[in-house]
């Protein structure tokens, strides 16, 4: 049996940066906090916990010592979090991904101009909570064309944004549906200027750029093991892409989720993951599969 780890999988640079922020601080501070899990990967959260990183919520600010360091993860936070940190004397280590910061800034500008802001994303996702916060929670968050048609006011000047980890196809469908009903619909973009022939959106290239490579990798293997945290948003998108190309794509958060039956009469096993899956987790899984199911 040949087991290969997908070279294009692993942390996106926004997450690598946040983990580096945490590791740098932990090298000089024995104890610090992360607002929400730094990464949607329980193994990596556990590793950093051992190094001194404790996960907290904004509600915990009242209980932790003044002057404590609290890391804002790559997803970013709403303005209310910065206000609460100031009130409780918390020192924020802001590891918001620069791509997310850019989207927050763009949304802020449109809000100031009085636009109705529509975000294609998941209401309870940390990044979306941050984006909505910029609009004082006025933004309309939709997951489908149907939801957009039911909730958006077509008579207002409107701008459409996307959570950075959503799929392009649904975004385009929502955009088309709104364009048909709203004159001069604006579309939020990561580029300063609209680039001709390039679709404008705020979907992160780290996610959308992986489609092609992942499809090729999925096709080249008999079975695929997709490893990611169950809460990872881009994990779900990427898992579905792999599954489209290879029906025998299985989800396993840890080695305990591996089913020996998957490996019967299989020659080529591919291991891949989400942008929040560390390379070392995939390497560990490869070694485990080779040891236990390789013969
Ligand atoms: S997926 Fe993109 S936007 Fe999200 S944290 Fe990674 S680099 Fe940043």
What pLDDT, on a 0 to 100 scale, did the predictor assign at position 192?
A: 61
- What residues are labeled active site? 127
The band of 208, judged by pLDDT with boundaries at 50, 70 and 90, is: confident
Q: What is the mean pLDDT of residues 62-84?
A: 97
DSSP string, 145-161: HHHHHHH--TTS-EEEE
The minimum-distance atom of ligand 1 relative to the CA of 98 is 8
- pLDDT single digits (tens) 15-56: 889 999 999 999 999 999 999 999 888 888 999 999 999 999
Q: How far apart are CA 268 and CA 247, in angstroms?
A: 14
Q: What is the mean pLDDT of residues 232-248?
A: 91
What pLDDT, on a 0 to 100 scale, did the predictor assign at position 204?
A: 86
Could you tell me the CA-to-CA distances from 166 to 261, 279, 292 in Å, in that order?
Answer: 32, 23, 36
Q: How far apart are CA 158 and CA 31, in angstroms?
A: 45
What pLDDT, on a 0 to 100 scale, did the predictor assign at position 258?
A: 96
What pLDDT, on a 0 to 100 scale, did the predictor assign at position 197?
A: 44
pTM value is 0.82
Return the number of other C-beta atoms located less than 10 Å from residue 172's C-beta.
13
The minimum-distance atom of ligand 1 relative to the CA of 164 is 3
Q: What is the mean pLDDT of residues 110-132?
A: 97
In the reported structure, the alpha carbon of residue 164 is separated from the centroid of ligand 1 by a whole-number distance in angstroms of 7
The band of 105, judged by pLDDT with boundaries at 50, 70 and 90, is: very high
In the reported structure, the alpha carbon of residue 97 is separated from the centroid of ligand 1 by a whole-number distance in angstroms of 6
The minimum-distance atom of ligand 1 relative to the CA of 100 is 3
- Check whether 155 has a pLDDT greater than 90: yes
What pLDDT, on a 0 to 100 scale, did the predictor assign at position 265?
A: 92
Which domains are present in the chain? Answer: 2-9+208-293 (3.40.1010.20), 13-97 (3.40.50.11270), 99-163+168-202 (3.40.1010.20)
Could you tell me the CA-to-CA distances from 25 to 30, 43, 68, 70, 215 in Å, in that order?
Answer: 8, 20, 12, 10, 38
What pLDDT, on a 0 to 100 scale, did the predictor assign at position 149?
A: 98
What pLDDT, on a 0 to 100 scale, did the predictor assign at position 154?
A: 97
What pLDDT, on a 0 to 100 scale, did the predictor assign at position 285?
A: 95
What pLDDT, on a 0 to 100 scale, did the predictor assign at position 280?
A: 86
Q: What is the mean pLDDT of residues 101-105?
A: 95
Q: How far apart are CA 294 and CA 11, in angstroms?
A: 27
Binding-site residues, ligand 1, Cβ < 6 A: 12-15, 74, 97, 99-100, 164-165, 204, 206-207, 275
- pLDDT single digits (tens) 164-203: 988 888 999 999 999 999 999 999 988 765 444 456 888 8
The minimum-distance atom of ligand 1 relative to the CA of 99 is 3
- Check whether 207 has a pLDDT greater than 80: no
Could you tell me the CA-to-CA distances from 173 to 142, 148, 149, 168, 190 in Å, in that order?
Answer: 12, 10, 11, 9, 19
Q: How far apart are CA 161 and CA 43, in angstroms?
A: 32
What pLDDT, on a 0 to 100 scale, did the predictor assign at position 295?
A: 63
Q: Quote the percentage of the chain above a pLDDT of 70.
A: 97
In the reported structure, the alpha carbon of residue 20 is separated from the centroid of ligand 1 by a whole-number distance in angstroms of 15
Which protein residue's CA is at the shortest distance from atom 2 of ligand 1? 204
Mutate which of 13, 276, 277 for ligand 1? The one with the most ligand atoms within 8 Å of its CB, which is 13
Kindly report the average pLDDT of the chain as a whole number.
Answer: 92
What pLDDT, on a 0 to 100 scale, did the predictor assign at position 284?
A: 93
- pLDDT single digits (tens) 273-294: 988 788 888 999 999 999 999 7
Mutate which of 17, 275, 278 for ligand 1? The one with the most ligand atoms within 8 Å of its CB, which is 275
- Check whether 270 has a pLDDT greater than 90: yes
In the reported structure, the alpha carbon of residue 77 is separated from the centroid of ligand 1 by a whole-number distance in angstroms of 14
- Check whether 147 has a pLDDT greater than 90: yes
Q: How far apart are CA 33 and CA 212, in angstroms?
A: 37
Q: What is the mean pLDDT of residues 224-236?
A: 88
Rounded (10°) CA dihedral 236, 128, 93, 11: 20
In the reported structure, the alpha carbon of residue 198 is separated from the centroid of ligand 1 by a whole-number distance in angstroms of 20
Which protein residue's CA is at the shortest distance from atom 7 of ligand 1? 14
């Amino acid at each position: 049996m040949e087991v290969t780890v997908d070279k294009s999988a692993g942390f996106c640079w926004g997450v690598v940066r946040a983990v580096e922020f945490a590791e740098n601080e932990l090298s000089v501070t024995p104890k610090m906090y992360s607002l929400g899990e730094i990464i949607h990967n329980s193994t990596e959260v556990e590793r950093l916990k051992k190094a001194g990183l404790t996960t907290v919520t904004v509600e915990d600010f009242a209980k932790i010592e003044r002057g404590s360091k609290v890391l804002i993860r790559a997803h970013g936070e709403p303005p209310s979090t910065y206000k609460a940190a100031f009130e409780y004397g918390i020192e924020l280590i802001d590891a918001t991904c620069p791509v997310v910061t850019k989207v927050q800034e763009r949304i802020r500008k449109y809000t100031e101009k009085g636009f109705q802001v529509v975000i294609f994303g998941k209401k309870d996702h940390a990044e979306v909570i941050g984006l909505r916060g910029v609009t004082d929670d006025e933004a309309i968050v939709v997951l489908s064309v149907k939801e957009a048609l039911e909730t958006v006011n077509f008579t207002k000047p409107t701008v459409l944004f996307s959570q950075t980890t959503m799929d392009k196809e649904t975004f385009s469908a929502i955009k088309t549906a709104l364009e048909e009903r709203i004159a001069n619909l604006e579309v939020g973009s990561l580029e300063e200027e609209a680039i001709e022939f390039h679709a404008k959106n705020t979907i992160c290239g780290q996610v959308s750029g992986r489609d092609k490579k992942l499809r090729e990798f999925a096709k080249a293997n008999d079975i695929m093991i997709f490893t990611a945290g169950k809460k990872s948003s881009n994990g779900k998108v990427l898992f579905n892409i792999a599954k489209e190309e290879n029906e025998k794509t299985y989800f396993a958060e840890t080695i305990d989720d591996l089913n020996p039956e998957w490996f019967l009469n299989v020659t080529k096993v591919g291991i891949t993951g989400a942008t929040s899956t560390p390379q070392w987790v995939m390497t560990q899984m490869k070694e485990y599969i080779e040891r236990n199911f390789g013969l």
